Amino acid sequence: MGELFPNQYWGMDIWKHKELPIIESHDFNFFRCLEFKDTYYGKTVSELHCGNLRVSRKDNRYSNLFPGQKLSYWADSSQTARAEIKKWKAGNNILTFWAYDDGSSFIPTSYPVENIRIVDGIHFGFDKILKKVGNHEELTNHEKEFINRIEHEKPDCLAYHSEARAGGICFLFFEQGFKKLSLREVALRLGDYKGKNTTKVICAVTSDFRPVLKGYGHYFSPIAKINYDDTYIMSDEYLLRKQGEDYSYKQIMGMMR
């Protein structure tokens, strides 16, 4: 199949389920924006990112598609992500997360390495059922059965049209899919302040997403400054990612022999 989403690197293989609106692929970029609050100061990038996965609420879009899951909302670009929070009257102090699917990295930090499985609510007609789900309309038995079949395939996220930005695409990640995301960059822009009000933390570099694991241990401090928490390298997250990174290096070295 050809390119389906603008946030995917061109020319990647895409596999489509024979009967269901599910595609599987890799090499994506995802973006999420939050209105920055003073309570975020002192929290590591790791803590801030973990906070992106939250218990679903009734008013969250499509939260009732697969009930009983924690959810995380992302977008195809920083522009779409900003438009989404501006729709809810967010201010000018914005935190932007830039993530990628870890399995597409030259040095994955998770194991096993897996592609992203996306319920495509844009290209294969599933948007008609999604609209009913979003409006909390009664579904037919056939539609309920169809959704159950999709859920049985354990997808990572749902792709759907943004209502805040024309042409934008949003991605609703379910908990298992969220765990497949790694950060490339976290940027803070304090639009309500004059002078130097923008800074960012780097967690991966180059086009092949080479991880910078210690980046997750940085935190923001007033105003738009960056500090480091030395205890991060003792955290479970760092140790697990480091094990994954070391394993990936060993695999690469083994192939080169």
Give the pLDDT score at 223: 85
pLDDT tens-digit series, residues 188-201: 999 988 777 899 99
| Every domain of the chain and the residues it spans | 15-256
Mean pLDDT of 168-176: 97
Q: What is the dihedral of CA 149, 150, 153, 155, to 10 degrees?
A: -160
Mean pLDDT of 169-183: 97
Mean pLDDT of 105-109: 95
Distance CA 142, CA 153 (A): 17
Q: Which residue would you say has higher pLDDT here, 60 or 151? A: 151
What angle (nearest 5°) sits at the alpha carbon of residue 250, between those of residues 247 and 254?
140
